[in-house]
Structures are given as C-alpha cells and as structure tokens.
C-alpha cells in the first residue's frame, strides 16, 4: 500500500517548482488538440489514452481492472497506463506534461489556498488556476460524487479533478482478542485510553506498534491529536490562520498539548520503534507483538492479509480529548485525485474514461480492489469499511490537508507540530520540541 508522508508533499514544495508549472502551462496550451480529438466515426472515442498515477499495489490493480473494462467497451481506444513510485512521481509527471504525452494524471494537494498563504500554494493548485487542467465542473459525471468531498477540493468554486476515494489517517487498529482477554472496551476519551494503556502495560503487553524508521507513521498520532483537540474543520482552519498571522504560538496552549499527547503515544510504543519499517508492522501486529497500531484505512487489506483470520481486527478513532463527542469522527484525505491535462491530445477518450470510471457499477469495482472508502454515495464497500461507517458519516479533512506549510520556515515547523523531535523518536521533551517549532516558525516572518 502507498506510504503517506505527513506533509511531505508540501515539505519539499518550492516556489520555483510552482513557477515552472505555470510556465509549462504557457508552453503546452498551444499544443492542446481540439475537444473532438480522438473521436472515431459515430463520435465514439478512439486512439491512445495516456494515464499516469503514483504507484500502490492495490490501487494499481484497481486501475488496471477499470482500464480493461473500458477497452472492452471502447475497443478503438488503447489505454497506456503508467504507475510510478511516489518518490519519482513528481519528476515523471513534470517531464510528461512538458512533452505533452499524458492525458489523465494524479494531482496532489489540490486545495483552495487561503489569502494568508497564497505564496505557499501547491504547484498543482497553481497549475489548475493557470489553465493547466481541464475544468470538469460542468461535466455530468461530477454529480455522482459526494458534494462535501468535491467542496473539499474545489478551487474558486470550480472542480479540476475527480476524487478516486477517501482514506482515514487518525484511527487505531486493535487486536480484539487481546482486548477481550483483559476486559478492555474501545476507549472514547483520553482518560479511557489511559486506562487501556495502564492495563496493557501491567500485563506486559506493548500497547502500540509504529514503524518509526519511515518517520511519517509516527506522525499519525499527531494528526489524531489535532483531530481530537480541534474536532471541526472550522477549528483547524482557525488554528492554521492564527499561526500564519502569529496570533497563536506553537509552544503554549492546545498546540503544546498536541505534542504532549503525541509523546505519550510514542512512549507507549514498542521498544526501538524508530528502527522498525512501516512495512514490517502488519506482520508484527499479526504475531501479537502489540495490541494496537495507529495506521490509515488504506492499509486495511495488507493488515487483514497479515493477520489471516488469527484474530478479529477492530478500528476506532484515537481519542485524545476528554470529551467523547470530539473523538467521534475519523479525519482523512482525498486519495489520488485525477486531473485532465489541458494539453491532452485525446480529450474525447479522456472524458469518456472519467465518465466510465465514475459510473457507480465500475466505481464499486474500483473501491473494492483499491481499499479506498468511496467518494460517491450509496456504494457497496468492504466489511471493514462498513464497520467504521459510524466514524466516517461526516467527512472531516485531516490536519495535513488543512495545513499550508510556509516555505520559509525551518524543518522544525514544517507540520508545524514538531513530532520528529519527540523522544523516544527524537531526543526532546514536548516543551523543547514545541519551542524549537515556534522559533523556526517565527524566523519565517
């Protein structure tokens, strides 16, 4: 399954890359073919359709199933599907756009950027605003998607991509057998979670397992802490705005509490977790090495395969607030948004593919194979996804979706909650990590 770096896509975002993207639009706009390119006799799509995505085993298999079915329906279209590793995707995407040999491709961080952070807009957002993506707002297939999900990725009220699904990042998988053995119930508040931790440690059971070697998995408890302490989209947006306007600080109040609670989770994680790889954790969970693991819903197929029926798996929002209502929803992100390049040489086939993909029958196949939560209403999902529906009835964007990193800030303020510095992952106390983050943040202004 794909790795989910907390804020990494923004971490390495540079203004120069954004400017390059804008310049590329100007170069490519003259290369775009007419809206009817690729149409065969009778108006049916034909020719080659180039699709580029960032790689993940489950979603790759899902895309391939869609492509095969599409080619059966439209035999005059040849779909050329390219899947590239997450590390290599940005460079590959840029070169393909420059050469005008890609039609549909994955766009990332396609969100409206508030006025206070305009200079830190993602290159994808700038690309859309500059005409690099086809405006899909008025296409009939857009009405199939859940309105609140579309709203979350709108730019100026317009839609430049389709959402392939949703993933939730603020929950915890747990071993139901271990919970039952020690008479534990799913915690709904921080106090209840502390009781669970105390019981487990008293029985010499390690509470949590995290793959800290990849760093970003240790950020999932941070996202969960923000989700609980700032339980609405509006409260997260206000936090981001107040930090950018320097009316709030990272080393006091709730921002400091975020790191304090995150550190408590890390202190209850397996020994030497900073050396454990993310891909090693499902097998360790299956062995019973720990009772719980903070992870995203995207990893459910891998975890289920590793456990292979040895015990039942549950999933709940990591509760950091002592108000249960603040912990009732999982926070997440829109997966693999698909945009259509304005430079496409086969717009007819591309729009036909997007329409085919979003057809509820075909889309059901995609979510079954990808493991994503559906971004369309009334789509049949897996037993696991059904089990967490009470936590996902209202889509709540996670902090790493809301937060806009400041390119001028130092490494300690990227997220901006400085979880990598927290011991035992790093060497700092929560207060020290928060102070370092505040210093790095202030230096950017």
Q: What confidence score (pLDDT) does residue 301 get?
A: 85
Question: pTM above the 0.75 mark?
Answer: yes
Per-residue pLDDT reduced to its tens digit, 84-138: 988 899 999 999 999 999 999 999 878 888 888 888 888 888 899 999 999 999 9
Q: What confidence score (pLDDT) does residue 119 get?
A: 81
Q: How far is CA 17 from the centre of its chain?
A: 21
Q: What confidence score (pLDDT) does residue 393 get?
A: 85
Residue 16: CB atoms within 10 Å: 10
Per-residue pLDDT reduced to its tens digit, 189-248: 999 999 999 999 999 999 999 999 989 999 999 999 999 999 999 999 999 999 999 999
Kindly list the domain boundaries of the chain, sorted by start residue.
Answer: 8-167+334-396, 170-329+408-442
Q: Which residues of the chain fall below pLDDT 50?
A: 1-5, 7-42
Torsions phi, psi for 77 (to 5 deg): -110, 130
Q: What confidence score (pLDDT) does residue 427 get?
A: 97
What architecture is the 8-167+334-396 domain classified under in CATH? 3-Layer(aba) Sandwich (3.40)
Q: What confidence score (pLDDT) does residue 23 get?
A: 37
Q: What confidence score (pLDDT) does residue 15 get?
A: 31
- Alpha carbons 114 and 276: distance in angstroms, whole number: 38
- Report yes or no: 345 and 217 within 8 Å, Cβ to Cβ: no
Residues 6+ apart with CB under 8 A from 159: 135, 136, 137, 142, 150, 153
Does 170-329+408-442 match 8-167+334-396 at the fold level? yes
Q: What confidence score (pLDDT) does residue 6 get?
A: 57
Q: What confidence score (pLDDT) does residue 10 get?
A: 35
Let me know if 160 is exposed, middle or buried by CB neighbors in 10 A (0-12, 13-18, 19+).
buried
> What are 335's strand-pairing partners?
165
Q: What confidence score (pLDDT) does residue 42 get?
A: 47
Classify the C-alpha dihedral 86-88-91-94 as positive or negative: negative
What architecture is the 170-329+408-442 domain classified under in CATH? 3-Layer(aba) Sandwich (3.40)
253-269 in b/e form (b: 16+ CB < 10 A) is: eebbbbbbbbbbbbebb
């Amino acid at each position: 399954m794909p790795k989910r770096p907390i804020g990494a896509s923004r971490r390495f975002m540079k203004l120069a890359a954004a400017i390059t993207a804008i310049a590329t639009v100007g170069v490519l706009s003259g290369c775009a073919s007419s809206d009817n390119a690729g149409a065969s006799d009778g108006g049916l799509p034909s020719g080659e359709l180039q699709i580029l995505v960032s790689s993940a085993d489950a979603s790759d298999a899902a895309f391939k199933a869609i492509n095969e079915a599409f080619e059966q329906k439209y035999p005059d279209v040849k779909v050329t599907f390219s899947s590239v590793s997450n590390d290599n995707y940005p460079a590959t995407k840029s070169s393909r756009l420059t050469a005008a040999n890609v039609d549909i491709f994955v766009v990332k961080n396609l969100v409206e950027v508030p006025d206070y952070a305009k200079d830190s807009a993602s290159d994808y957002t700038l690309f859309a605003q500059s005409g690099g993506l086809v405006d899909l707002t008025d296409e009939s297939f857009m009405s199939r998607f859940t309105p609140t999900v579309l709203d979350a990725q709108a730019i100026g009220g317009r839609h430049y991509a389709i959402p392939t699904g949703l993933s939730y990042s603020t929950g915890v998988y747990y071993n139901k057998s271990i919970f039952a053995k020690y008479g534990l119930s799913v915690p709904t508040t921080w106090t209840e979670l502390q009781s669970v931790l105390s019981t487990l440690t008293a029985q010499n059971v390690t509470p949590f397992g995290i793959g800290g070697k990849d760093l970003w998995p240790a950020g999932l408890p941070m996202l969960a802490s923000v989700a609980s302490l700032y339980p609405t989209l509006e409260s997260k947006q206000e936090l981001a705005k107040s930090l950018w306007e320097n009316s709030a600080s990272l080393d006091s109040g709730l921002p400091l509490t975020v790191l304090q609670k995150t550190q408590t989770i890390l202190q209850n994680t397996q020994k030497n977790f900073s050396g454990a790889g993310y891909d090693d954790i499902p097998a360790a969970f299956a062995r019973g090495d720990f009772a719980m693991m903070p992870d995203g819903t995207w990893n459910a197929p891998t975890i289920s395969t590793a456990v292979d029926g040895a015990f039942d798996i549950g999933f709940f929002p990591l509760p950091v607030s002592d108000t249960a209502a603040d912990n009732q929803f999982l926070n997440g992100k829109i997966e693999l948004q698909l945009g259509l390049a304005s430079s496409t040489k086969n717009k007819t086939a591309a729009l036909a593919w997007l329409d085919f993909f979003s057809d509820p029958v075909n889309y059901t196949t995609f979510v079954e194979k990808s493991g994503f939560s559906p971004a369309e209403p009334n789509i049949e999902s897996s037993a696991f996804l059904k089990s967490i529906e009470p936590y996902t009835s209202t889509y709540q964007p996670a902090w790493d979706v809301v937060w806009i990193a400041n390119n001028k800030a130092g490494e300690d303020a990227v997220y901006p909650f400085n979880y990598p510095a927290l011991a035992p992952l790093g060497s700092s106390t929560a207060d020290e990590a928060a102070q370092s983050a505040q210093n790095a943040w202030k230096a950017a202004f």
